[in-house]
Amino acid sequence: MDKFIIEGGERLYGSVAVQSAKNSVLPLLAASILTEERVTLKNVPRITDVACMGQILCELGAEVRFAGEDISIESAHASNHRISSSLTKELRSSVFMLGALLSRFGRAVCAYPGGCDIGLRPIDLHLNALKRLGVEIVERDGMIFCTCEKLRGAELVLDFPSVGATENILLAAVTANGKTVIEGAAKEPEIVDLQNFLNAMGADVRGAGTDVIEIAGVKALHGTEYTPIRDRIEAGSFLIGCAICGGELEVSGVRAEMIGLLLHKLRENGCKIHTKNDKIRIVSEGRLKANRRIETLPFPGFPTDLQAQAVALNSTCEGGALIVENLFETRYKYVPELMKMGADIEVKGRTAFVRGVKRLHGARVTCGDLRGGAALVLAALGAEGTSEVLDLSHVDRGYARLEEKLQKLGAKIRRVRM
């Protein structure tokens, strides 16, 4: 197990190019099983979630090759439709494989998905939608058994704009008989990226980025070479890190509209934000002001994946902030670790009351999930003294070479094997 040793108090200067989006790459990898031809994804981050999805594809019989930052998948000989419990429970995104496997083989078996411990995250929306597409589902002993004669198009209405359910429906419906319409679809940029990727493979998908997506089923998909969108959550994490530490930073690869509400909140803090094309520059000077209220919502609202980082930022801002987490019920598990560093935070249910202190101090803290771990790293960068951030396995799920990127910006951070 690795840990970070961080000497806080250094301002951040320079520029950083963000990696391809983890939340886009994983469903694209799942989609690669839809064709027997080669699929190549360019500029893919070497994070553990990607490695785990690669293992799942290999288990299904696909050949997966890593070449630098590229991944090639050939699944002509894939025949297995069952994902082992160990891999399913390690990676929540394995749930995307249900729609893809049903589209390819008409069968799929997997355990309930795992990932970060941030709440129940039920997959009823996924399963109910698949049933409407003609799938018979049996749930037994913690496993999900899915079969279908032939997927058929249907009109679906989602009670909540779930990103995962929208993506799973897309993967199942692209080769179904007839037309599928998703009303109440998620509108995240990663949904648009999946649509563009599937269409590059020969699918007929329209409307991603709006409430209504239409999928006309095709007989077969073909291989393609594709570069996923960049990671708006990584971009947001670096911007928040600069706000916490002070300094001047340019983040490239993400357009302002992908994280528009975050930029608004950073301006509210007192940061200066300049945007041009896919470059965002932030200047942070002096003590910032707290955000009065941040509420996580589906896109284009404030991302739940940046909630923990926003709490870390407001921990040292002047005044108090009210943070409301609407998407996951237990996403404040990192708060006791942040309080070890001197943060003044009170959590009641889905709400966190953050009272800004002048400075956090170094401490020994432990990551419990991906985004909470990122928040602890950012808080430690701005704290007075030395911090140890333990159990980086969570952070490594979503951030590639994080310490190297931060070192180039002037941070004093190093990785140590325990």
Count up the domains in the chain and report the number. 2
Q: Are residues 213 and 129 in the same domain?
A: yes
Q: Are residues 279 and 401 in the same domain?
A: yes
pLDDT along the chain (418 residues), means of 10: 96 97 96 96 94 92 93 92 76 78 92 52 82 92 88 95 94 97 98 98 98 97 98 98 98 97 98 98 97 96 97 98 90 96 96 97 96 98 98 95 98 94
Q: Are residues 60 and 167 in the same domain?
A: yes
Q: Are residues 203 and 305 in the same domain?
A: no
Domain end point (choices 226, 241, 271):
226
Instruction: Give the span between the Cα atoms of 390 and 167, in whole angstroms.
Output: 33
Answer whether 352's CB lies under 8 Å from 332's CB.
yes
Identified catalytic residue from 52, 58, 110, 116: 116
Encoded amino acid at 141, one letter: D
Burial of 213 per CB tally in 10 Å (0-12, 13-18, 19+): buried
Q: What is the pTM of this model?
A: 0.94
| Residue 35: per-residue pLDDT | 96
Q: Are residues 235 and 315 in the same domain?
A: yes
CATH code at position 72: 3.65.10.10
| Residue 115: per-residue pLDDT | 42
Q: Are residues 411 and 353 in the same domain?
A: yes
Q: Are residues 284 and 154 in the same domain?
A: no
Encoded amino acid at 122, one letter: P
| Residue 393: per-residue pLDDT | 93
Q: Are residues 13 and 27 in the same domain?
A: no
Active site (annotated) includes residue 116? yes
Q: Are residues 273 and 405 in the same domain?
A: yes
| Residue 120: per-residue pLDDT | 43
Q: Are residues 208 and 271 in the same domain?
A: no
| Residue 93: per-residue pLDDT | 62
| Residue 91: per-residue pLDDT | 65
Domain end point (choices 175, 205, 226):
226
The range of the structural domain enclosing residue 168 comes to: 22-226
Q: Are residues 406 and 315 in the same domain?
A: yes
Q: Are residues 141 and 253 in the same domain?
A: no
For residue 346, count other CB atoms closer than 10 A to its CB. Answer: 11
